Amino acid sequence: PLPPASGCKTSERKSRGGKAETRSRGTAKEKTLECGQIVWGLAFSAWPAAEDGDTDPACAVGLPCLVLATGLNDGQIKVWEVQTGHLLFSLLGHQDVVRDLSFAPNGSPILVSASRDKTLRVWDLSRDVLLCSGDTFLLSPGRQVQVLSGHVQWVYCCSISPDCSMLCSAAGEKSALLWSMRSYTLIRRLEGHQSSVVSCDFSPDSALLVTASYDACVIMWDPYTGEQLRTLRHVPLHSTLDSSSEIHTSSLRSVCFSPEGLYLATVADDRLLRIWALELRSPVAFAPMTNGLCCMYFPHGGFIATGTRDGHVQFWTAPRVLSSLKHLCRKALRTFLTTYQVLALPIPRKLKEFLTYRTF
């Protein structure tokens, strides 16, 4: 393995798995990246393959590798090569905690960071920046492309649309902001929540956007028009609450789409993980959990990971679904057609409503 970069430590320990595991997988190890600061945000991405002639490639020549960006308490972002634990570089610019990170889903080396300094920053990890260290000048990847200002509170969450055309950000405000990833300008404010918006996510075809708020509601939006399509209300289940519970027990913490785009997962303060089907207004499944803060679907579906305040990550079996041919066609079309382009098609009105998620 490559030696860890100066200032950060990589520790490994052998797994306690049995002999059968060792025979089938080799010597499994757990790796810890020592960042030296509280880690608030994480994002994975594939790193481009190294080319012949690279003097210090992060990956083997011709092979892509996995990188992890970590958002830290001091405002730094550290980018690691996962397999070796090698620190590739640090990104400097934020003045406070980096709360969330989002890589461009199309594999381009664009990273967006959200911070308590009330800004979002866009980084191009393929571009070199000249650094001065004493009398030495060094080329380091990671040029800051843009600073997005518009929030008046801490920015909690950022999400890039799968087609990489839009960025949504949520702060301690009643509105979410929608930005253009092409011009880095504000498209619109999404107003409709009654309390702070804390989480947001795009559907896999970029046709829908969901926001979750402390007001115990998830709002489903058409990001192209700003129209509210549906509101999912978190009604407390009395059997899960005790007499000391407060009025805001259903405050939402996180929302995310399933990979095929037919389900949502939400985590709320009423000690429940909920699974919602898009066409229904009530959950199709519940799971009891405490101190939940965030949730994320496994990329290929079937499982959900949740993070908690007490430092645990739990995994849950999620409903598996075979997408209908209608949904697959809609998803394929909406991947490259905006709402306005669909509405301009010479097709029946009911088909337009289906393709724009006005009917499910």
pLDDT in tens, the chain (360 residues): 323 333 334 444 443 444 443 343 444 446 677 878 777 887 888 766 555 555 444 554 445 678 888 888 899 999 888 888 888 888 999 999 999 999 998 778 899 999 999 999 999 988 655 444 454 444 455 688 899 998 999 998 999 999 999 999 999 899 999 999 999 999 999 999 999 999 999 999 999 999 999 998 999 999 999 999 999 988 876 544 444 444 445 688 889 999 999 999 999 888 889 999 988 888 888 888 888 888 888 877 788 888 777 777 778 888 888 889 999 999 999 999 999 999 999 999 999 999 999 987
pLDDT given for residue 70 in this prediction:
86
pLDDT given for residue 73 in this prediction:
87
CB atoms within 10 A of CB 223: 24
H/E segment holding residue 130:
strand 119-133
The number of C-alpha atoms within 13 Å of 104 and in the hemisphere containing its C-beta is 19
pLDDT given for residue 166 in this prediction:
96
CB atoms within 10 A of CB 220: 20
**Does residue 115 sit in helix, strand or coil?**
strand
Strand partners, 69: 43, 79
User: Which domains does the chain possess?
Assistant: 36-49+62-149 (2.40.128), 152-236+248-323 (2.130.10.10)
For residue 122, give the nearest of 133, 131, 114, 134 by alpha carbon.
Answer: 114
Rg (CA), the chain: 22
Beta carbons of 308 and 293 less than 8 angstroms apart: yes
Strand partners, 255: 266
Enumerate residues 6+ apart whose C-beta is below 8 A from 293: 253, 254, 267, 307, 308, 309
**Does residue 133 sit in helix, strand or coil?**
strand
For residue 274, give the nearest of 286, 259, 263 by alpha carbon.
Answer: 286
